[in-house]
Amino acid sequence: MIEVQRVGEDRYRVTVEEGGSRTEHAVTVQDDYYQKLTGGSITVEELVRKSFEFLLEREPKESILSSFDLPVIQRYFPNYERVISSR
């Protein structure tokens, strides 16, 4: 389960529950990056949720940074923006 909660203007708390354990993550999403990836076609919360689905397909929840700006994913996974934009 992935729960995304807005906690500030551009800040989100993401809780991932899986296999009887839970992790929490603080994610920042700037509006220009959100627009670049989605064109406003989905909510920011949905973008964050889809981004975590992307990450969880590639690594365990415990390996996901506890705090990061969404564009950081692109540094670790160069196909992130292309995959997310097509989802």
Q: 30, 29, 34, 23: which is closest to 66 by C-alpha?
A: 23
Please tell me the pTM assigned to this model: 0.95
Query: pLDDT tens digits for 32-84?
Result: 999 999 999 999 999 999 999 999 999 999 999 999 999 999 999 999 999 99
Domain ranges of the chain: 2-86
> What's residue 19's pLDDT?
85
> What's residue 4's pLDDT?
98
> What's residue 87's pLDDT?
81
DSSP collapsed to 3 states, 1-54: CEEEEECCCCEEEEEEEECCEEEEEEEECCHHHHHHHHCCCCCHHHHHHHHHHH
